[in-house]
Chain A
Amino acid sequence: MFESLQDKLGGVFSRLTRRGALKESDVAEAMREVRVALLEADVALPVVRDFVRKVQEQAVGTEVLRGINPAQQVIKIVHDELVAMLGSEQEPINLRANPPVPVLMVGLQGSGKTTTSAKLALKLTNKENKKVLLASLDVYRPAAQEQLRVLGEQAGVKVLPVIPGQMPVDIAKRAMQAGALQGYDVVILDTAGRLAIDEALMAEVVAVKAAVNPAEILLVVDSLTGQDAVNTGKIFKDRVGITGIALTRVDGDARGGAALSMRAVTGCPIKLLGVGEKIDALDDFHPARVASRILGMGDVVSLVEKAAATIEKEDAEKLEQKMLKGQFDLDDLAKQFRQMRKMGGMDGLMALLPGVGKVKKQMAESNINDQMLARQEAIILSMTRKERRKPDVLNGSRRRRIAAGAGVQVQDVNRLLKQFQQMAQVMKKMGKLQKKGAMSPQALRNLIPPQGYGR
Chain B
Amino acid sequence: MADEKKRGWLGRLREGLARTASNLTGGITAIFTKKKLDDETLENLEELLIAADLGVGAASAVTKRLASTRYNKEISAEEVKEALAEEVTKILAPVALPLIIDASRKPHVVLVTGVNGTGKTTTIGKLAHRLRQQGHSVMMAAGDTFRAAAIEQLQVWGERAGVPVVSGAVGADAAGLAFEALQRAKADSIDVLLIDTAGRLQNKANLMAELTKIVRVVQKLDPTAPHDTLLVLDATTGQNAHSQVDLFRQAANITGLVMTKLDGTARGGVMVALAERTKLPIHMVGVGESIDDLQPFDALSFARSLAGLADETVS
Return the contact of B240 from the options A45, A144, A228, A253 (Cβ within 8 A).
A253
Is A17 engaged at the interface, CB distance under 8 Å to the other chain? no
Return the contact of B265 from the options A144, A197, A222 (Cβ within 8 A).
A197
Is B55 engaged at the interface, CB distance under 8 Å to the other chain? yes
In the docked arrangement, what's the CA distance between A224 and B235, Å? 10
Is B202 engaged at the interface, CB distance under 8 Å to the other chain? yes
Residues of A in contact, count (CB < 8 Å): 47
B residues near A109, Cβ cutoff 8 Å? 117, 119, 261, 289
Q: B119–A110 contact, CB under 8 A?
A: yes
Q: A227–B240 contact, CB under 8 A?
A: no
Q: B202–A227 contact, CB under 8 A?
A: no
Q: B117–A111 contact, CB under 8 A?
A: yes
Describe B's contact surface by its main secondary structure: loop
Is A147 engaged at the interface, CB distance under 8 Å to the other chain? yes
Is A373 engaged at the interface, CB distance under 8 Å to the other chain? no
Q: A255–B240 contact, CB under 8 A?
A: yes
Q: A226–B23 contact, CB under 8 A?
A: no
Return the contact of B203 from the options A147, A154, A195, A253 (Cβ within 8 A).
A253
Is B189 engaged at the interface, CB distance under 8 Å to the other chain? no
In the docked arrangement, what's the CA distance between A147 and B199, Å? 15
A residues near B263, Cβ cutoff 8 Å? 195
Is B149 engaged at the interface, CB distance under 8 Å to the other chain? yes
Nearest residue, chain A, Cβ from B237: A224
Q: A227–B146 contact, CB under 8 A?
A: no
Q: A110–B53 contact, CB under 8 A?
A: no
Is B283 engaged at the interface, CB distance under 8 Å to the other chain? no
Q: B236–A143 contact, CB under 8 A?
A: no
Q: In residues 226-263 of chain B, which contact A (Cβ within 8 Å)?
A: 234-240, 243, 261, 263
B residues near A231, Cβ cutoff 8 Å? 23, 265-266
Q: B265–A232 contact, CB under 8 A?
A: yes
Is B147 engaged at the interface, CB distance under 8 Å to the other chain? yes
In the docked arrangement, what's the CA distance between A143 and B148, Å? 9
Return the contact of A228 from the options B50, B148, B264 (Cβ within 8 A).
B264
Nearest residue, chain A, Cβ from B247: A253
Return the contact of A253 from the options B201, B234, B237, B270 (Cβ within 8 A).
B201
Is B113 engaged at the interface, CB distance under 8 Å to the other chain? no
Given contacts A143-B149, A146-B149, contact A39 B50 (CB under 8 A): yes
Q: In residues 26-46 of chain A, which contact B (Cβ within 8 Å)?
A: 36, 39-42, 44-45
Can you give 10 contacting A-B residue pairs, CB < 8 Å? A195-B263, A196-B264, A224-B240, A225-B236, A227-B267, A228-B235, A231-B265, A232-B236, A254-B238, A258-B238
Q: A277–B236 contact, CB under 8 A?
A: no
Q: A143–B152 contact, CB under 8 A?
A: yes
Is A141 engaged at the interface, CB distance under 8 Å to the other chain? yes
Q: B116–A110 contact, CB under 8 A?
A: yes
Report the minimal beta-carbon distance from B226 to chain A, rounded to whole angstroms: 23
Q: A147–B149 contact, CB under 8 A?
A: yes
Return the contact of A142 from the options B52, B115, B152, B266 (Cβ within 8 A).
B152
Q: B119–A151 contact, CB under 8 A?
A: no
Q: B56–A40 contact, CB under 8 A?
A: yes
Is B157 engaged at the interface, CB distance under 8 Å to the other chain? yes
Return the contact of A147 from the options B148, B155, B267, B269 (Cβ within 8 A).
B148
